[in-house]
Structure 1
Amino acid sequence: MKQISLTTTFTVFDSIDDLKTADKELMQQAIAARKKAYAPYSKFTVGAAILLDNGQVVLGSNQENAAYPSGLCAERVAIFYAGANYPEAKIVKLYITASPEDRDLDQPIPPCGSCRQSIAEYEIKQEAPIEILFMGGKGKIYQSDSLKNLLPFMFDKNYL
């Protein structure tokens, strides 16, 4: 038997005010997108902002549906919009904020498994890492240089 040890590294910011100006502005756009979420069932709102290498910013919010699981998470709404409208652009950074409607969580909320797999698809496709910054409704922000920190054993087209 053999063991494998994996190490991941995140940068932790105490609040949005500790981010660089450009990152702060994009996280604020993700927060604004979260306020447009359609979450009548879970009451859990998520917003995402994507910075593309062409300078475009794409926003997304979670969109639920009574025919669960027909809705989409904010991250996938934004990623799929970027892929459909800017197919040659690379995703440079992804900003995520999530919290229930009735309170602001103060712990960082990472992307769900489905979103991680969708992010992985684009990170592999563009052959470049996607920096991810995520937070709750307030408080600390975690920054990862690549999805590989969140999903070290990515499933990709090479297995097909």
Structure 2
Amino acid sequence: MSNQELLKEAIAIKNKAYVPYSKFPVGAALLSRSGKIYTGCNIENAAYPVSCCAERVAIFKAVADGVYDFSEMTVAADTERPVPPCGSCRQVMSEFFDSSMKIHLSNTHEQTKTLTMNELLPFSFQSEDMGERG
């Protein structure tokens, strides 16, 4: 699958975002190693902390489907620079993505910036950091 195909999926789901407060729609398309695409859009709530970003929606849909192996993700928003994921999304992404996985970030003009997971969140908190418990 090409980056352009994944970008089209991210843009299509972006248009379904529920953003009555911020008016800032974001779409994400996550490609599993098996070739299935999981999409997500941001979903807001009047109580902002319970809102959920597009990246996490796509990841959670895949995980709820029993999928944990991914090859790449594209994120799209109506921004001037390629849209960076928030810190919460980066941490969730680091939980499920290999450090070398490519993440394509896109903007209004469909320009993309590609980073690896490690470039997006270097020195991330990992399960190994918790040590043995119990």
C-alpha distance in structure 1 between counterparts of 2:72 and 2:110, whole Å: 20
C-alpha distance in structure 1 between counterparts of 2:103 and 2:92, whole Å: 13
Q: Is the 8 A contact 2:14 2:26 kept in 1?
A: yes
Residue 33 of structure 1 deviates from its aligned partner by: 0.6
Larger relative contact order (CA 8 Å, sep ≥ 6): 1
Q: Is the 8 A contact 2:99 2:117 kept in 1?
A: no
Are residue 153 (structure 1) and residue 129 (structure 2) matched?
no
Q: Which has the larger radius of gyration?
A: 1
Residue 38 of structure 1 deviates from its aligned partner by: 0.4
C-alpha distance in structure 2 between counterparts of 1:152 and 1:94, whole Å: 17
Matched AA of 2:102: E
Matched AA of 2:87: G
Matched AA of 1:48: A
C-alpha distance in structure 2 between counterparts of 1:130 and 1:122, whole Å: 10
Matches within 5 A, 1:36-115: 36-87=16-67, 89-99=68-78, 105-115=79-89
How many residue pairs get aligned? The number is 130
Segments of structure 1 that go 5 or more residues without pairing to the other structure are: 1-20, 100-104
What is the SS of the residue equivalent to 2:35? coil
Residue 128 of structure 1 deviates from its aligned partner by: 6.0
Q: Is the 8 A contact 2:28 2:58 kept in 1?
A: yes
Matched AA of 2:77: A
Residues 49-98 of structure 1: per-residue CA shift (max 9 Å, x gap): 011011100000000001111010000000011111033x4111100001
Segments of structure 2 that go 5 or more residues without pairing to the other structure are: none
TM-score, scaled to structure 2: 0.90
